[in-house]
Structure 1
Amino acid sequence: MNPKHVIVISYDAFSEDNWEMAKSLPNLSKLIKNGAVSTKLRSVYPTLTYTVHTTIVTGVHSDKHGIFHNNPFQPFVEEKNQIWFWYQDAIKVPTLYDLAKKKGLSTAGLLWPVSGKSSIKYNLPEIHALKNENQSLKVLKGGSPLFCLGLELKYGRYRKGIQQPNLDDFTTLCTVDTIKTKKTNLLLIHLIDLDDAKHGFGTDSKEVKEAILRMDIRLGRIMDAIEDAGIKKDTTLFIIGDHSQINVKYKVALNHLLKEKGLIFKEKGEVKWRACLQSTGGAAYLHIKEGDLEAETVAYTVLKDAMQKGDYGIEHIYSREELDSLHVNKSINTMVESKSGYSFVDTLKGPMIIDLEEKDIKYATHGYSPDKENYKCVFVASGPLIKENYFLEDIEMVDIAPTIGKIFGIELKNRDGRVLDEIFR
């Protein structure tokens, strides 16, 4: 293997239902012709961005790497005020970029999740400010200050907060600059436009089609930068969809059911809990106060009754044995999966069931089981090391890190995935 350059583009929410449109576009079609492809990339449970991205760089599931959600559990804190798993110190196993650094290879990251204060040499991490925090200062402290400052001075005027398509246009400009000026061995990029379009307008909207068209233009700019930098013959490019999305008709606030049974209550004006659900969107973790077996029994009965009634969108309640096979964090004994067309929310404000169709609201989300129907992701690998026009069947998200590791001669110990040896020449 020639361990010179690997560029990983996380194409957030790029899934099998987007394939027919995307595969014929000018730039992606070139990568497909010169590479290996799967439209049956199975994600991890739950299919949340930070959980999946940590798997992409570790080759293990969340029961090993520790990033079980985008957010640590913060019951009844409004989502806009919640901290996220922004910093690498939450990851319990070595990452590709850690191992690359030990091998003397250079690394860069652009809005890569869970990479704040990491070993990445040139790092603009995905971090956002909460109330009374300064966004720029927080990013500088979490990333590589001079690198971040330089990109901000050059391209900051193209960004409008997290508004799309401006954010991904900014990230693409930063990517092109980094490829040309740093020529790192490993470059990790996170592009979010498609995911935002699906959340805001549904999976089958014109806005989604427009985002896919924009993404192909961005791919073209990145491919041109690789050529302009003179590194095309030494570069392997990976395009990875991290999860799919499903259109939602009903949002369900299941914590209301636990509140009705006294498992969530107020004490001296403060919300307290014995059992509480933490939504992933398409599923929910059941958290129990340590040692409260009575609360666990009552909560399980409440959820089982709700599933049997059929009004709350519960498709399945996973036991701990089932969660073992899905590699879910050992601290969770019960997890609730929603039916397609439903999603769960944590809030106790408002009604228990919100009919989005009645309100004429288009919305889609993820966080469901990776085994939902038509819910697989897209994988493309292209470059001189990769077979041309090669199609794979079922592959796993945990296979990506070991496969990239092979290019660099890096072995990931205790990995859950395998090396996709079949894609190499």
Structure 2
Amino acid sequence: MNMNAESKQNRHVVIISIDGMANYYLQDPNVRMPNVRRLIGSGVVAAGMESVFPTATWAIHSSMVTGTYPRKHGVLGNWTVERPKHRVGEFFGDRMYDQPDVLRCETWYDAAKRAGWTTASICWPVTRGAKNIDFNIPEFYEQELFDSLCTASYWEELKATGLPMERYGEWSRDHARGPMQDWLTTEIAKYTIRIHRPNLLQLHYLLPDSLQHDYGIRSKEAYWSLEYVDERIGDVLKALEDNDLHDMTDVFVVSDHGFVDTTKTFYPNVLFRQKGWFNTEQPGRSQVIAVSNGGSGFVYVLEEDPDRRAALVAEVRQTLQRAEGVGRLFEQEQFPALGLPAPGELDTFRPDFAFEADMDSFVHFGHEGDEVIRPLTKFKGMHGYLPQRDELKAIFVAAGPSIQAGVTLPEIRLVDIAPTIARLIGVELGSADGSALDQIWKEEMQLGKLYSAQR
């Protein structure tokens, strides 16, 4: 299904992810996003988009690019426990794992390379060491990771332009300088469009997520962050126009999850410590440990003796069922319905229990102190809860030469995006759980006509 050289040169796709933009913002008159609204007017918007559980960035972006649920692609959350090594597995910040070692399904950028396309990625989660991204800057937070693990020639090329690449890590970590980080992402995208003209470009903006964590939903800071990111999207669209790519580029603007306000913090490891199950000196050697994915958590029973383990699982279940702060508790038999691995699947990272916190609570890793539930929270806004909740619904917008104008889709699933992108590339993702949104194509661009030459 490889495209010929001429058709490849004239096909481009840009995917922009806005971290933390809830679908309810599209109906909010206080949100000024003229560039996104212009795309909606000339293209397609979904009434809403159901994300995946947990509604945490690293799991979601893995589902986004593969069209599969975490059960299949393998990245279960921002944090897990890696059972064989008795350590917390940190996907957040791409600090621990290379993409080929943890992401188990074909992505849209893998499919693009299979079709002979050039690929670029800026600040996208779970891309460290990705073999099929030609120009790659993963989502890191430490400068040393940027300096050592981005595409080396690309990184040096960007430094030579005078862009402040040496500040990317610092600006990524510091929410107060988050606008500079998203500005730098945009400047890199503009340069990459002008010089390299990749067939597929994916980029990820962080500011709305950061400022909603700090100030809460519908705060003045949240509204400003959305307007700021919209301006940066306008810069990317102008770069396409300035480089004669606008008429051959399909643009997708999506988000990963919505947000709710939080007022309390739940500390499951304090509860487990009080039960004598949590090892404060060596947390990975605990009998029971919880990790947070924001508004939800995973609980691991690490006791290895079969009889003691069975008794402990029963006691942990009872403890969680009674715990203030646990809104809904899920056992392994319920995991497949959540998109999580069933017993016998992904044994390295699969928890024994998953839970959704009360909707006003944030789940914290910490084990210090005596209060399991505490008023106030580190974050004023949070995500991680069940994706079926309206507050957690994400956005989907698409416009371009292949896409109809003035169409509103019913609610879609986040896992539908990757099969749709693959159709534009002219290939199929065999492992996808989602379905291509074939109703968005212009009549003259129906797949049988559009891709007949490629097949």
TM-score (norm 2): 0.84
Alignment check: 8 A CA contact 1:46 1:368 kept: yes
User: What's the CA shift for 1:290?
Assistant: 5.9
Match of 1:125 in 2: 138
**Match 1:11 to one of 18, 24, 33:** 18
The AA in structure 2 aligned to 1:263 is W
Match of 2:446 in 1: none
Match of 1:105 in 2: 117
Match of 1:92 in 2: 104
Match of 2:295 in 1: 282
Please list every run of 5 or more consecutive structure 1 residues that lacks an aligned counterpart in the other structure. Answer: 130-134
Match of 2:439 in 1: 422
1:18-61 CA distances to partner (integer Å, 9 max, x unpaired)?
11248763211110011110141000011111111111111111
**Between 323-332 and 4-13, the greater mean CA deviation after superposition:** 323-332
**Match 1:65 to one of 65, 73, 80:** 73
Task: Measure, in 2, the Cα distance between the counterparts of 1:302 and 1:78.
Answer: 21
Alignment check: 8 A CA contact 1:15 1:39 kept: no
More helix by share: 2
Match of 2:373 in 1: 353
Match of 2:421 in 1: 404
Alignment check: 8 A CA contact 2:17 2:204 kept: yes
Alignment check: 8 A CA contact 1:109 1:188 kept: yes
In structure 1, the residue corresponding to 2:155 is in which secondary structure?
helix
**Match 1:20 to one of 14, 18, 27:** 27
1:182-225 CA distances to partner (integer Å, 9 max, x unpaired)?
11111010110100011111112110011011011111111111
Match of 2:239 in 1: 225
The AA in structure 1 aligned to 2:22 is S
Is residue 374 of structure 1 aligned with residue 391 of structure 2? yes
The AA in structure 2 aligned to 1:109 is S
The AA in structure 1 aligned to 2:26 is W
- Which aligned segments of 4 or more residues in structure 1 are displaced greater than 6 angstroms? 74-83
Is residue 145 of structure 1 aligned with residue 149 of structure 2? no
Match of 1:240 in 2: 254
In structure 2, the residue corresponding to 1:324 is in which secondary structure?
helix
1:229-256 CA distances to partner (integer Å, 9 max, x unpaired)?
1011110000011011211100110112
Structure 1 vs Structure 2 CA RMSD: 2.5
In structure 2, the residue corresponding to 1:194 is in which secondary structure?
helix
1:39-89 CA distances to partner (integer Å, 9 max, x unpaired)?
410000111111111111111111111111223527787989997455212
Alignment check: 8 A CA contact 2:14 2:251 kept: yes
The AA in structure 2 aligned to 1:49 is T
Is residue 343 of structure 1 aligned with residue 362 of structure 2? yes
CA 306–288 in structure 1, closer or farther in 2 if over 3 Å, else same? closer
Give the number of equivalent residue pairs. 412
Residues 168-317 of structure 1 mapped to structure 2, 5 A cutoff? 168-265=182-279, 270-271=282-283, 272-289=285-302, 291-293=304-306, 294-295=308-309, 297-298=311-312, 300-302=314-316, 304-308=318-322, 312-317=324-329
Match of 2:452 in 1: none
Is residue 42 of structure 1 aligned with residue 54 of structure 2? no
Task: Measure, in 2, the Cα distance between the counterparts of 1:313 and 1:301.
Answer: 17
How high is the sequence identity, in percent, across the aligned residues? 28
Task: Measure, in 2, the Cα distance between the counterparts of 1:209 and 1:407.
Answer: 33
Alignment check: 8 A CA contact 1:16 1:40 kept: yes
In structure 2, the residue corresponding to 1:278 is in which secondary structure?
strand
Is residue 395 of structure 1 aligned with residue 412 of structure 2? yes
Please list every run of 5 or more consecutive structure 2 residues that lacks an aligned counterpart in the other structure. Answer: 443-455
User: What's the CA shift for 1:342?
Assistant: 0.7
Task: Measure, in 1, the Cα distance between the counterparts of 2:410 and 2:203.
Answer: 25
**Between 144-153 and 30-39, the greater mean CA deviation after superposition:** 144-153
CA 257–243 in structure 1, closer or farther in 2 if over 3 Å, else same? same
Task: Measure, in 2, the Cα distance between the counterparts of 1:40 and 1:81.
Answer: 26
Alignment check: 8 A CA contact 1:263 1:295 kept: no
Match of 1:132 in 2: none
In structure 2, the residue corresponding to 1:403 is in which secondary structure?
helix
The AA in structure 2 aligned to 1:217 is E
Task: Measure, in 1, the Cα distance between the counterparts of 2:387 and 2:287.
Answer: 29
Alignment check: 8 A CA contact 2:260 2:391 kept: no
Task: Measure, in 2, the Cα distance between the counterparts of 1:47 and 1:259.
Answer: 27
CA 85–79 in structure 1, closer or farther in 2 if over 3 Å, else same? closer
In structure 2, the residue corresponding to 1:354 is in which secondary structure?
strand
In structure 2, the residue corresponding to 1:377 is in which secondary structure?
coil
Alignment check: 8 A CA contact 1:72 1:83 kept: no
